[in-house]
Amino acid sequence: MTTDRQEDLRRIRHALEQAAGVLGRFTPSRVGVSYKAHGSPVTEADLAVDELLRRELPRADEGWLSEETPDDPSRLERRRVWIVDPLDGTREFLAGVPEWCISIGLAEDGRAVAGGVYNPSANELFLGSLESGATLNGQAVRASTRTSLEGALVLVTRWALKRQGAHAFANAPFQPRVVGPIAYALALIAAGRADAMWGRSAKAEWDIAAGSALIAAAGGSVETWDGGPLAFNRWPPRVSGLVTAGPRLAPAVRAFMATAADR
């Protein structure tokens, strides 16, 4: 691993720990909440962490993309761009569900090369890069080596479950588990704590940049819905669907998706 990448990971870890300290000042019952045009909540905690991360991470030659910062098109001219979600899972945070997290991804030339996801309420800090591999609380982790969906643990977002209905998984060969924040779900897959996740809806770059870097670092498979590589620092900052799994399970996931589409 190069010295530069070691420094990137040091910066990510430090920023995650600092952000957790900021979030520790807020509680669900004592935090200001407002709502965006599409109805999703944003709290004082989201904005405070966004301010911290923007102060800690980007240098003069680096770009910035955050869910809570107005987008600056100048990022498209930068080779290195920080892509963050200061508080992924704001609804879970407000409801006291211990799945919310801080997500920090670093893209170089459109590729997610390093990332960190921190769930302070569960004391889980996921960190990794293409050069270093992935860790959970400092211990090396790898993506699942499962080859079959029989008995696999597949993560489903709450939004997807609401849209599709529980009946969509009634006869599935795998065990579905509902998780709120996408960044946290991807981190669990990188650590081998879950086997796969897929969804056809567009995903915001800040939701998946860190997690996709972690999965790649852990040897997993992460692709667009159509089977192509993920590309970051684009306009608009969206990826058209996501399919991710352990490397040996990815063909079985694609086969299941094709069968389900034919029904």
| 3-class SS shares of the chain: helix, strand, coil, % to 5 | 35, 30, 35
Residue 170 is classified by DSSP as T
Q: Give residue-wise pLDDT tens across range 8-35.
A: 999 999 999 999 999 999 999 899 999 9
Quick one: what percent of the chain has pLDDT higher than 70?
95
Q: For residue 106, with 0-12 CB atoms within 10 Å meaning exposed, 13-18 middle and 19 or more buried, which class applies?
A: buried
Residue 251: is the preceding peptide bond cis (ω within 30°)? no
**Tokens 């997993």 appear where?**
220
The two tokens of residue 165 are: 């209905």
Window from 38-42, 202-206, 242-246 with minimum mean pLDDT = 38-42
- pLDDT at residue 158, as a whole number: 76
Q: Is 82 or 37 the better-scoring residue by pLDDT? A: 82
| 161, pLDDT greater than 90 | no
CATH of 153-262, one of 3.40.190.80, 3.40.630.30, 3.30.460.80, 1.10.3720.10: 3.40.190.80
* 3-state secondary structure string across 176-190: EEEECCHHHHHHHHH
- pLDDT at residue 166, as a whole number: 60
Is the domain covering 3-140 a CATH 3.30.43.10 domain? no
Decide: 84 and 69 in contact? Cβ < 8 Å.
no
* 3-state secondary structure string across 197-259: EEECCCEEHHHHHHHHHHHHHCCCEEECCCCCCCCCCCCCCEECCEEEECCCCHHHHHHHHHH
**Tokens 């588990």 appear where?**
177
Quick one: what percent of the chain has pLDDT higher than 90?
86
- pLDDT at residue 263, as a whole number: 44
What is the chain's alpha carbon radius of gyration, rounded to the nearest angstrom? 17
| 220, pLDDT greater than 60 | yes
Ranges of CATH 3.40.190.80 domains, the chain: 153-262
Helix (H) or strand (E) holding 141: strand 139-141
* Spatial separation of the C-alpha atoms in residues 115 and 145, rounded to whole Å: 22
- pLDDT at residue 157, as a whole number: 83
Ranges of CATH 3.30.540.10 domains, the chain: 3-140
**Tokens 């879970």 appear where?**
92
**Tokens 């990826």 appear where?**
239
> Could you tell me the pLDDT band of residue 80, with boundaries at 50, 70 and 90?
very high
- pLDDT at residue 94, as a whole number: 95
| 121, pLDDT greater than 80 | yes
